[in-house]
Chain A
């Protein structure tokens, strides 16, 4: 207390406290923006210079800088260009329009959430089976690991085509692909979590002659919760990647993946970057939501503050 009172001339009010708490984050963000702007300048400069020279126009350095910041089809768009594109494509069109980025984000997000739910439940069930049936661990685990080594870009079209052949299109096949990708970390994390109780905690259950279901529900499951949330945080981003990848090879009409595809088709780098930023924001929000639930659960389960 005393040392901080000496260091700070005034009693810190709430906003300054917030500022000092988040200074490292803000500093990193600032550095990233500076790097981004520098990259935009150096990557676009040859382009802009060529354009000036082609038209045989004299240009100053500041005109060159301005050119790199406002290029129509930049190699690397400047942050403010991406921000403007984001704003235009979200607020410039009605929500259900194909041209609205929010519409595409929603399409991808819904596939992500459904896929994540399927993957998480599948991963948990698999882990429970593996923990309870030793034989399964030997017979199943190699296949699970194999399944993760097959490149998803090779599998995704197969899944989409197979589902399409039996008349299932749209969200569900995409969800399956993202579930396929995201169950794995959950299985691995939960096998570790379900086997994490101390021998002595298991012995207690034995002295009460608890059955397997009780041991699972009253000991293994609660003991595995921290592991569960750690792996869910990994797998939710993977599931978003899965949903986007599933939109790429099939020429999907909607979704962030489709947006990336059309963007690269027409050389709309700004549009691609806006879609990427949008995906990053979705991932961040999803992780934040899981983090919140994790904290709330931990508090209810008596975690030390």
Chain B
């Protein structure tokens, strides 16, 4: 509440400025505050039946503290772009910087948490041991591992399920556990690939609100893939609309609701206007393809 009435913070300003087609001046001003800086990124997969062009000349700047959603038709390269940011995939052309260093360096410094489309919990580990796994790998002491595990399981409403194995939980609960796992080492950047894709509307709304609160309170940068226009508009400070394959960025739509927005904003005129712009962007992408 306090946030909404106060003048926009510097990170929010940055978000607005870069959401315009970036000019040389704004780029220079925000150079240090860019979490993701992709320039001319292209990626072509070499497969047995020929080359698959997944990304073509993607330029994208994401500022510190942004909540950026990727939206686009299935198979357009959203996951691929995320994987490029995470250094799980190397672009065949172009450069990508994460927190001012190469994507590989950022990965080696464990600067992001990645939440995959599927929960991908290790089936032989209990929920608590799944959440503590990255902490084990990063060498946190045992008592801190336990303390963090409890804190983040509570955050995703899974207290009491510590000793269960993944198969004993529903799909949504598993996905929440995987979110707790990604949060456990407190990365400044969260890469979320359709984390709520498999959940029902009510649970999804609830988790969206929780995610927003987390983002607002911690000042993390979030990159979020979704197929849902309302979800994108509700969550984001910036919506990146992508064309069908090969993935290009068609439109970057700023979305300046207050950081502590509630589900009620979905009834406002502005919300509907932005949703319409996203939809028309998606449509133009399709006609572009034909």
Contacts and interface: CB of A to CB of B under 8 A. Distances in A.
Interface of A: 198, 200-201, 203-210, 214, 218-219, 222-223, 225, 301-302, 304
A201 B134 contact: no
B16 interface: no
Interface stretch (B28-36, B116-124, B251-259): B116-124
B2 interface: no
B45 to A, nearest CB: 14
A302 B86 contact: no
Interface of B: 86-88, 107-110, 112-114, 116, 118, 120, 122-126, 133-134, 136-138, 165-167, 185
| Pairs of residues from A and B, 5 with the lowest C-beta to C-beta distance, nearest first | A302-B165, A301-B124, A207-B114, A200-B120, A208-B134
Given A208-B137, A208-B138, A218-B136, A201 B108 contact: no
Nearest to B185: A208
25 contacts: A200-B118, A201-B120, A203-B88, A205-B137, A206-B87, A206-B88, A207-B112, A208-B134, A208-B137, A208-B138, A208-B185, A209-B107, A209-B108, A209-B109, A210-B137, A214-B137, A218-B133, A218-B137, A222-B122, A225-B124, A302-B123, A302-B126, A302-B165, A302-B167, A304-B167
A74 B124 CA distance: 55
Contact of B110 (A209, A219, A225): A209
Nearest to A209: B108
Contacts of A223: 124
A223 B124 CA distance: 8
Contacts of B113: 207
A175 B136 CA distance: 39
A205 B133 CA distance: 10
B189 to A, nearest CB: 11
Contacts of A210: 137
A179 B14 CA distance: 67
Contacts of A208: 110, 133-134, 137-138, 185
Contacts of A203: 88, 114, 116
B80 to A, nearest CB: 13
Contacts of A209: 107-110
Given A208-B138, A210-B137, A218-B133, A302 B124 contact: yes
B85 to A, nearest CB: 11
Contacts of B109: 209
A203 B122 CA distance: 12
B140 to A, nearest CB: 12
A223 B109 CA distance: 27
A211 to B, nearest CB: 8
B87 to A, nearest CB: 8
A201 B114 contact: no
A222 B124 contact: yes
Contacts of A201: 120, 122
Given A208-B110, A223-B124, A302-B125, 19 more contacts: A198-B120, A201-B120, A205-B137, A206-B107, A207-B107, A207-B110, A207-B113, A207-B114, A208-B138, A218-B136, A218-B137, A219-B122, A222-B125, A301-B123, A301-B124, A302-B123, A302-B126, A302-B167, A304-B167
A301 B129 CA distance: 11
Contacts of B107: 206-207, 209
Nearest to A304: B167
A204 B138 CA distance: 13
A201 B181 CA distance: 13
B167 A207 contact: no
Contacts of A206: 87-88, 107
A177 to B, nearest CB: 35
A302 B163 CA distance: 10
A222 B167 CA distance: 17
Given A209-B108, A222-B122, A204 B136 contact: no
A298 to B, nearest CB: 9
Contacts of B166: 302
A225 B124 CA distance: 10
Given A200-B120, A218-B133, A222-B124, A207 B165 contact: no
B116 A200 contact: yes
Contacts of A214: 137
Contacts of B116: 200, 203-204
Contacts of B88: 203, 206-207
